[in-house]
Amino acid sequence: MIPNAKLLVSPSPHLKDRVSVRRIMFTVVLALMPATACGVYLFGLHALWVILVSVFSALVSEFLGYRAMGKRFTMDGSAVITGLLLALCLPPTVPLWMPAVGSSFAILVGKCAFGGLGQNLFNPALVGRAFLTLSWPSLMTRWVSPLEGVSTATPLGTWKSGGGYTSTWDLFLGNVAGCIGETSALAILLGGILLIALRYIDWRTPLSYIGTVGLLMLLLGEDPLFHMLAGGLFLGAFFMATDYVTTPLTGRGRVIFGVGAGLLVVVIRMYGGMPEGVTYSILIMNAFTPLIDRYTRPRVYGTVRRKWWERKK
């Protein structure tokens, strides 16, 4: 032993990366820019105002929430992502007070009420969207066609009412009615590929999520491409189901999360009253994340995993 040696004892993590939370958050914001730009181009200036109001409200709400908790507010970018994601999954026709109220609810109830960044159980942006949908359903289901602004139904709404499938090409490019940032699968995919390439998100989650929806819809006699590209599946799979805080930590757990969320989307779309199910599929699976982490945690090196019947009750 080295005489008079001093040992530093500290909690994990013991290995740290140079990539900071702030850098990851603003990279995610950058990855959302193609979908954001596409939404503003397709739905006009009002969509831009919805986005700006939502982000501003999220920042103000987090500042006030942290002050109320006696915590220091730092511009780490998490509130910007919450406000931006909420705006992108809102109809382009909503009045401006709705993104303000939704972002405030998302931050104060979905995030600060649990203790702040890293402690929330549910995805804050989806908490805000679910709150707005339940509170003002008529305003959350007013859709307009891109560029023209004429009232129309979404592709999933048309399908649900028996109107058939929308062109796959239109769904891929975004030439359909829908939420501000959900219509163009191409724009979302560009951002998702960037995050996967930088290894900021795990490819297992979006692949298992989208793949489960496509496979089950194929088995049920539906058009799998339509259901994979329509609605908010791509946005949810790449930017919400991959959230660090509210989704599993292990690779196996992320696959289980994606499969479970995909199954819920299919059940809601096929047998529920709503044409879409991405929001509630992710929120429900968020609740199962601690349980998934518990049963998929890796075995400690040098130990032997006991059989389930050998474990103490």
In a domain, 255, yes or no: yes
Q: Which residue has the higher pLDDT, 177 or 10?
A: 177
Please state the rounded mean pLDDT for residues 273-282: 91
In a domain, 13, yes or no: no
In a domain, 38, yes or no: yes
pLDDT-derived band at 12, boundaries 50, 70, 90 = low
Phi and psi based region of residue 117 (left: phi greater than 0; alpha: psi -120 to 50; beta: remaining): beta
Percent helix, percent strand, percent coil in the chain, to nearest 5: 60, 0, 40
Compute how many other C-beta atoms are within 10 angstroms of the C-beta atom of residue 308: 6
Q: What is the pLDDT of residue 297?
A: 83
For residues 171 and 155, give the distance between their C-alpha atoms in angstroms, rounded to a whole number: 8
Comparing CA positions, the residue from 46, 151, 150 lying closest to residue 92 is: 46
In a domain, 306, yes or no: no
| Greatest alpha-carbon span in the chain | 81
Q: Is the pLDDT reported for residue 311 higher than 70?
A: no
Residue-wise pLDDT tens digits, 55-91: 999 999 999 999 998 888 888 889 999 999 999 999 9
pLDDT-derived band at 180, boundaries 50, 70, 90 = very high
Residue 90: CB partners within 8 Å, gap ≥ 6?
A: 50, 54, 98, 99, 102, 129, 132, 140, 179, 180
Q: Which domain holds residue 202?
A: 21-295
SS3 category, 40: helix
Comparing CA positions, the residue from 261, 161, 176, 246 lying closest to residue 211 is: 261
Lowest mean pLDDT of 15-29, 74-88, 92-106, name the range.
15-29
Q: What is the pLDDT of residue 309?
A: 64
Q: How many domains does the chain have?
A: 1
Please state the rounded mean pLDDT for residues 93-103: 96
Residue-wise pLDDT tens digits, 116-137: 888 899 999 999 999 999 999 9
Chain mean pLDDT for the chain? 90
In a domain, 88, yes or no: yes
What is the pTM for the complete model shown? 0.89
Q: Is the pLDDT reported for residue 300 higher than 70?
A: no
- Compute the Cα dihedral for 170, 206, 236, 37 and give only its sign: negative
Q: Is the pLDDT reported for residue 219 higher than 90?
A: yes
In a domain, 305, yes or no: no
Amino acid identity of residue 129, one-letter, is R
In a domain, 311, yes or no: no
In a domain, 147, yes or no: yes
Q: What is the CATH number of the domain that holds 47?
A: 1.10.3430
